[in-house]
Structure 1
Amino acid sequence: MAMTRLLWLLYTSLVLSALSLNCHCSEIKKVHVVYMGERPQEDVSVASMHHAMLKNAMGSASSAKESLIYSYGRSFNGFAAKLTNDEVAKVSEMEGVISVIPNHKLKLHTTRSWDFMGFGTGNDGNLQEGDVIVGVIDTGIWPESDSFSDKDMSPPPAKWKGACQGANFTCNNKIIGARFYNSENYYDNTEFKSPRDSIGHGTHTASTAAGREVPGANYLGLADGIARGGVPNARIAVYKVCWDSGCALADILAAFDDAIADGVDIISVSLGSDWPYDYFEDPIAIGSFHAMKYGILTSNSAGNSGPFAVTVSNFAPWTLTVAASTIDRKFVSQAVLGNGQIFSGLSINNFDLNGTSYPLIWGGDAANYTVGADPESSRYCIPGAMSSDEVQGKIVFCETLWDGSGILLANGVGTVMAYSSITDFAFNYPLPATVISTEDGLKVLDYIRSTDNPIATILVGETPKDVMAPVVVSFSSRGPNPMSPDILKPDVTAPGVDILAAWSPVSPPSVYYADTRSVNYNIISGTSMSCPHASGAAAYVKAAHPDWSPAAIKSALMTTAYVMDSRKQVDLEFAYGSGHINPSAAVNPGLVFDASEADYIDFLCKTGYNTTTLRLVTGDNSTCTNTLLGRGWDLNYPSFSLYVKDGEQIMGVFNRTVTNVGEPNSTYVSSVYIPTTFSVTVEPSVLSFSAVGEKKSFTVKITGPKISQQPIMSGAITWKYGVHVVRTPLVVYNYIPGAPYNLDDGSTYSMINNKKATFRGSSIYHKNGIIGYN
């Protein structure tokens, strides 16, 4: 069956290739987004404007009407339409157009996690959480989940201007708005044409950020406890842009356009691209820029392409970029052999075999020769390669990590997999399973080969304490920033490993896509899980300080973060940014590094954008003057990053301004921790304030010798007054271990000298293979 499917795929690929040779490809219409910046100030119909532009490009009013998919105009200016290559060229030359972007797809990138951060239930219950609205751009939501109950909740705040769309879906006082978007108009037969979530990802992220408190939540008996979000009483607005086929750029921008106008306070986006795009070709960077202008902070995931360097996604400086780290709970399951040997492996295993032992075989001895499989393929237990005659009623040892379906489909009892590349997070499977080390796998194989009747059992999962936590997980994408190397990314890290949260009951509960079981809560990992933790923390700060800007909220989360143990992380700040979020401390940071739209415009000027483009983006008379291309040193950012070209001296001057949000009469004294390789001076080193809201500026000068092939060196500048500790990380680097350069196959890391990056990131998940969603 597997071979037949492979031949069919090969055949269809050849047929499609042949057809493409005979087509007039320039006449094929594909969805593109035309981005035009800020909404026009004058009272004009943007829809009419967009229609006129399409009519000019196509020469027909009816063709223009049929082509138009979205007209963005509630929060910024632009549209999505089906265009040929020739029409793209025409529209690109029209006045007011900043970029024309193909509608590529982006990918989807807690009982214990909040308590682990010292942010348990009952934290400051007087905060006005009910006035805060968290907008979640994701796969939708399952509204009937207990995590979204509106019991004892008042009606939505008066500022709310959103809507509840779609059949078979009802909003309430918790989920106050829901919309869905599908520019490609393609639906799998398992998907809902509504904001209802058929995948589970959006339900999980929404409940992590702002789910109600639910006692007794668990995954089929594992990880039992109280599931809740960071702001249980905040409101949720849902924007469904992701489907089985991915998350389309045009839909993401439409969601941002609506979310901003609807009145959300925080936007949570757990998705991103494998490739770095220019800021105004990236839908999340574009949408979050306009959100920032309206006072809305966007929190987004760093990506799941780690541990490789320069893979961080969502790196615009006006967003909060979140890495993923562990919490103090692991999921393990033991394999017990007939000779008494016990091997502990990572697995979220809810299946209980009651200690019963079953025959144990090696996958290589169970090849399905009928379909052309052999021991070289069956040793990995690939679906279709296994003979049910050999596998039925047995536990199978497999020499790699897979989703368990090969054994399940062959009527096996369970599987022990050997795989050493993943040691810091676990998966759930559709049958009893555990993943042991490759070294232990050799011992299992030796037992099988040296025993006449080998037997084994797999014990139900356990949750021992992880004393090493928090550590940034291996899959979390690393910096440095591929577009602006002098802006440190990621910004912070948050729990993203083995997180339990609400789930869509129609979505598979394990990594096997055809698992027919149903659960209301699931345990998954990814920066998709860490992002809503930061979103919930940001909403918590917003509730305490409704008038704070997005930059001030972001600064509070960064400067109060828990300091990570550098001995556990070779990538240092390129892995965890400022550190691990500490929501309780973030509401009282003492000082904040604030920034406005004008500050970001100045940053964009200095990184190569011209006045014409920026005026379209801002809708005002912004002008780029005295630009120094390639440096972002003066953006008022709560961290310091200095990239030094190979063979040059260490030298950088950073200007910063802090705003007092603590006590009115206060004096902050600076201290510097740095390696001996370079020196740092802070001038002035003491800042005295006499009022809340008062601003003070200081300069940081970094100097040192010439360096070559120097990996990241890191330190920190800390300002202290009373209980306030305002910490900003500082990194200097010019070499990135593990990042190949100057390759000709499209997989190069070429960002570092102010060139656009072109790297290939890899997801840790495969829907029909190893693992689910980013």
Structure 2
Amino acid sequence: MGFPENVHQNLTVESDIIIGVIDTGIWPESESFIDKGFSPPPKKWKGVCEGGKNFTCNNKLIGARYYNSQRRSDDSARDRDGHGTHTASTAAGNYVRDASFYGIAKGTARGGVPSARIAAYKVCYPAGCREADILAAFDDAIADGVDILLLSLGPKAPSNFTDDSIAIGAFHALQKGTLVLQSAGNSGDKKRVGSIVPGIFTVAASSTDRGIVTKVAAGNGTVFTGKAISSFSLAGASVPVVYGKDVTRNCSEATARRCASTCVEPSLVKGKILLCDNYWGVNTALNVGAIGAVASLEAFPQLGHLSVNTSFIVPLPASHLSKQDFNDLQSYYARTITPTVDILTSESVKNADAPLVAEFSSKGPNAIIPDILKVDCSLHFFLLSFENTSPSKFPSEKRYVKYSILSGTSMSCPHVAGAAAYVKSFHPNWSPSAIKSALMTTAWRMDLVKDSLAEFSYGTGHIDPVKAVDPGLVYETFTEDYIKMLCSLGYDTATLRKILGANSTCPTGVQIAPKDLNYPSMATRIATNGSTIITYSEKFTRTVTNVGLRNSTYRVTTSKSPDYNISVKPDILTFRMLNERKSFEVIIGGKINGKMVSAEVEWSDGVHRVRSPVIVYPDSL
């Protein structure tokens, strides 16, 4: 992210920023939330500490609430899962030196804004997150005075605004000047981004330049590089290996190859390493007393592309191999009388392909509002506070840790929340849309060649928090703009009030088509009516606000391609004062042949570069 420990900070303002985390709760005793050196909470804070029994807030963790509309037995804001603690510490955790996962990925754990305050709102339990609890948390957080709301949760698929508690809560928050950030989702599929409200900052997940791998050394000297986070060591031992199909007495070969939980005979695997066709065979290996496990990624497609840095924690010596590597190991096993394997402790490696969008990260296009590009940006995930929670998702895991490594859009979202709070610390009076625009237009475009869905995967790209502090120009969107857009989509006043509140009314004759909402990106879907090739010409209207230099002139450049023609009118914008606004039009035309057109426009005054993607795509995509 280009965001080192010695990055310039505006600590006085940063300490007045409050990040609300709507999640699984928080572990208040974590080192990430110690309040040494913190002053009392900002005067604007109106919240409470109602975390339940044996739960104490302080000047860092200034508030906590829990919501229990299902009357569960858990009557505390304490985090039993680790998810909420991890997201909170990523966004605003203190500096904690020498943090690691059993020595792996050792370093300083810190949030984006370590001096900011945190308020936790627990709405999620093992059974899920109820809509009523989410809405109640939004109401309380807005009234409590939080500046930024972080939600690393959401639906698995998009839904209409009237059916989405986060959408409704976000519209209310935006009206009060609170920026809302939400994870894109982990379905990995097209048109499955669950966070589609224009005002929400929607975050995808991408890899970092530090990968974690676990190598498997076969007895014939072949070494395979697999995906897992394993803190265990076999001390160089060559351990006998058995295959699931050969250690069963009551299952078919196909089921036994997968190491189904009821198939493997414990007496046949004791003291051995178990080979399994299925990712979850690792859990079976733990349950039946095997020393370790090597499993194939083939049955778990989201993890199958090893160029993307997605390793998950395992509860015993284990590694997950690509289909080809697993087949090679399987061949060695089949032709060897006494096959052996050594599973090495995980190690960090340089991930040269980073950043790439993770397979599990949900992709666009936007299924509800096709002419609003979603996702908005992409960022990575890594190690932060977890605190007394099982580190892996395997049911038989028995360890409890203070720090862990998690993957998912849930983990990338708080990185952007921290970056947004960082920008706000330099511009405390900026609107949510201005902060969001600053981060989007200064992001750098990721590798189009390596991701066929391009902006539908990563939005404007990978953010740069330091550049976002001085973006030059911003695209601002106001409540009345959202109202005009919703009304253009057919929402009447009665429906509008269910989403935005009682004072909302559709204006007569004044509407804003979604593609002309003053958004930092531009997108439109073309109706093909079954035709293969369509000739199109589309126009976008935008307005930028000068937040850079008082007297400045911006000139536009555009991408070039034989697939389209793109022009901007006017192509020069001259500003005489700060906060002055200027409008322009972008016209793009050409032929579309079943694929998306990925273009861009960039304004520059020689100091600032303000980039926006321009996306045209067929309805068949």
SS at match of 2:236: coil
Paired AA for residue 286 in structure 1: I
Residues 650 and 678, structure 1, Cα contact 8 Å, conserved in 2: no
Which runs of structure 2 are paired with 1:377-388 in the superposition (5 Å)?
Answer: 377-388=255-266
The 3 A distance-change label for structure 1 pair 674 and 642 is: farther
**Residue among 157, 161, 168 paired with 2:42:** 157
Q: Compute the RMSD of aligned alpha carbons.
A: 1.4
Does residue 392 (structure 1) correspond to residue 270 (structure 2)? The answer is yes
Residues 159 and 194, structure 2, Cα contact 8 Å, conserved in 1: no
Residues 675 and 713, structure 1, Cα contact 8 Å, conserved in 2: no
The corresponding residue for 2:65 is 179
Does residue 309 (structure 1) correspond to residue 190 (structure 2)? The answer is yes
The corresponding residue for 1:650 is 536
TM-score, normalised to structure 2's length?
A: 0.95
The corresponding residue for 1:345 is 226
Instruction: List per-residue Cα deviations over 1:574-620 (Å, max 9, x = no partner).
Output: 00000111111111000000111011111111111113333563433
The corresponding residue for 1:318 is 199
The 3 A distance-change label for structure 1 pair 482 and 532 is: same
Distance in 2, matches of 1:220 and 1:381, equals 28
Shift of 1:642: 1.4
The corresponding residue for 1:469 is 354
Distance in 2, matches of 1:213 and 1:609, equals 47
Residues 335 and 434, structure 1, Cα contact 8 Å, conserved in 2: yes
Comparing 421-430 with 216-225, greater Cα deviation is found at 421-430
Shift of 1:338: 1.2
Paired AA for residue 139 in structure 2: D
Residues 260 and 281, structure 2, Cα contact 8 Å, conserved in 1: no
SS at match of 1:482: coil
Does residue 200 (structure 1) correspond to residue 85 (structure 2)? The answer is no
SS at match of 1:463: strand
SS at match of 2:485: helix
The corresponding residue for 1:129 is 14
SS at match of 2:350: coil
Distance in 2, matches of 1:173 and 1:619, equals 36
Does residue 222 (structure 1) correspond to residue 104 (structure 2)? The answer is yes
Distance in 1, matches of 2:32 and 2:502, equals 41
Shift of 1:622: 3.0
**Residue among 402, 409, 424 paired with 1:520:** 402
Residues 21 and 120, structure 2, Cα contact 8 Å, conserved in 1: yes
SS at match of 1:330: strand
SS at match of 1:529: helix
Residues 366 and 375, structure 1, Cα contact 8 Å, conserved in 2: no
Shift of 1:343: 0.9
**Residue among 711, 736, 740 paired with 2:595:** 711
Instruction: List per-residue Cα deviations over 1:469-503 (Å, max 9, x = no partner).
Output: 0111111000011111110000011113xx11111
Shift of 1:157: 0.2
Residues 386 and 402, structure 2, Cα contact 8 Å, conserved in 1: yes
SS at match of 2:90: helix
The corresponding residue for 1:428 is 313
The corresponding residue for 1:407 is 285
Residues 46 and 143, structure 2, Cα contact 8 Å, conserved in 1: yes
The corresponding residue for 2:54 is 168
The corresponding residue for 2:386 is 503
Shift of 1:621: 6.0
SS at match of 1:565: coil
Paired AA for residue 95 in structure 2: E
Which runs of structure 2 are paired with 1:720-739 in the superposition (5 Å)?
Answer: 720-735=604-619
Distance in 2, matches of 1:711 and 1:621, equals 39
Distance in 2, matches of 1:628 and 1:209, equals 37
Distance in 1, matches of 2:590 and 2:487, equals 28
Instruction: List per-residue Cα deviations over 1:220-257 (Å, max 9, x = no partner).
Output: 11100000110011000000000000111110000000
Residues 287 and 396, structure 2, Cα contact 8 Å, conserved in 1: no
The corresponding residue for 1:81 is none
Paired AA for residue 588 in structure 2: I
Paired AA for residue 724 in structure 1: H
The corresponding residue for 1:268 is 150
The corresponding residue for 2:365 is 480
Which runs of structure 2 are paired with 1:604-623 in the superposition (5 Å)?
Answer: 604-615=486-497, 617-620=500-503, 622-623=505-506
**Residue among 333, 343, 367 paired with 1:448:** 333
Distance in 1, matches of 2:503 and 2:573, equals 35
Does residue 686 (structure 1) correspond to residue 572 (structure 2)? The answer is yes
The corresponding residue for 1:79 is none
Distance in 1, matches of 2:234 and 2:169, equals 50
Structure 2 unpaired stretches of 5+: none
Residues 33 and 94, structure 2, Cα contact 8 Å, conserved in 1: yes
SS at match of 1:256: helix
The 3 A distance-change label for structure 1 pair 609 and 674 is: farther
Does residue 284 (structure 1) correspond to residue 284 (structure 2)? The answer is no
Residues 385 and 406, structure 1, Cα contact 8 Å, conserved in 2: no
Instruction: List per-residue Cα deviations over 1:51-83 (Å, max 9, x = no partner).
Output: xxxxxxxxxxxxxxxxxxxxxxxxxxxxxxxxx
Residues 370 and 524, structure 2, Cα contact 8 Å, conserved in 1: yes
The 3 A distance-change label for structure 1 pair 584 and 621 is: closer
Q: Give me the identity figure in percent.
A: 48
Distance in 2, matches of 1:312 and 1:455, equals 44
Residues 193 and 363, structure 2, Cα contact 8 Å, conserved in 1: yes
The corresponding residue for 1:13 is none
The 3 A distance-change label for structure 1 pair 343 and 602 is: same
Distance in 2, matches of 1:430 and 1:715, equals 46
Distance in 2, matches of 1:216 and 1:260, equals 36
**Residue among 532, 551, 565 paired with 1:665:** 551
Does residue 551 (structure 1) correspond to residue 436 (structure 2)? The answer is no
Residues 364 and 376, structure 1, Cα contact 8 Å, conserved in 2: yes
Instruction: List per-residue Cα deviations over 1:10-62 (Å, max 9, x = no partner).
Output: xxxxxxxxxxxxxxxxxxxxxxxxxxxxxxxxxxxxxxxxxxxxxxxxxxxxx
